[in-house]
C-alpha cells in the first residue's frame, strides 16, 4: 500500500510541478514578453480545445476550465513517463537528456496530434513558434517529470 501511495504522490508531484512551470512559462512568454494574449485568453484557448467557441459561464470560468485541463494534460504526461520509465533503459541513463527529449516528444504529441484534433483555433507551426514552444516544454515539462521520476526509482532501488 505504501508503494502505491508513493507512486501516486510522485506522479502528482511531477504533474503539478510540470503543469505549474509550463503555465508560468506560457504566461511569461506569451502574455508578458510577447504580449500576444492575456492570461485569461491563454487559458481560455486551452478550454477551447475541448469546447470550441462555446462559452460556459464567462471568459473567466472558461479560463479556469482551461487551467484545469492544462493540469490534467500535465498529469497525463507525468503518468505516461512514470510508467514507461522502468521499461526503457535509455531513459535511466541521463535524466537531463531524457527530460529534454521527453519535452520534444510532448511538443510533437501536442502540436501534431492533440491540437489539430481539438476544436481550438490553431495556426500552422512556424520555426520560431516551434523553437519557442519546444524549449518551454523541454524545460518546463520534460525536465521536471524526468528528474522527479528518476528520483523515485533511484530511491526505490536503494530501499530494495
In this prediction, residue 125 carries a pLDDT of: 76
* Per-residue cell: 2: 505504501
pLDDT single digits (tens) 19-54: 999 999 999 999 999 999 999 999 999 999 999 888
Say which DSSP state 80 is in.
Answer: H
Q: 3-class SS at 121?
A: coil
Structural domain boundaries in the chain: 2-159
Beta carbons within 10 angstroms of residue 56's beta carbon: 10
What's the CA angle centered on 139, arms 60 and 146, to 5 degrees? 110
CA distance to 57, 67, 80, 122, 140, per residue, from 74 (Å): 25, 11, 10, 20, 10
Amino acid at each position: 500500500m505504501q508503494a502505491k501511495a508513493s507512486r501516486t504522490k510522485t506522479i502528482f508531484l511531477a504533474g503539478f510541478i510540470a503543469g505549474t512551470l509550463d503555465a508560468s512559462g506560457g504566461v511569461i512568454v506569451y502574455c508578458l514578453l510577447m504580449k500576444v494574449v492575456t492570461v485569461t485568453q491563454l487559458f481560455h484557448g486551452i478550454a477551447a480545445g475541448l469546447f470550441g467557441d462555446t462559452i460556459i459561464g464567462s471568459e473567466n470560468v472558461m479560463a479556469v476550465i482551461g487551467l484545469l485541463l492544462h493540469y490534467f494534460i500535465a498529469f497525463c504526461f507525468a503518468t505516461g513517463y512514470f510508467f514507461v520509465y522502468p521499461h526503457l533503459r535509455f531513459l535511466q541513463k541521463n535524466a537531463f537528456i531524457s527530460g529534454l527529449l521527453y519535452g520534444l516528444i510532448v511538443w510533437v504529441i501536442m502540436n501534431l496530434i492533440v491540437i489539430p484534433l481539438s476544436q481550438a483555433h490553431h495556426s500552422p507551426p512556424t520555426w520560431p513558434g516551434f523553437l519557442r514552444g519546444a524549449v518551454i516544454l523541454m524545460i518546463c515539462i520534460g525536465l521536471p517529470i524526468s528528474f522527479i521520476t528518476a528520483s523515485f526509482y533511484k530511491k526505490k532501488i536503494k530501499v530494495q
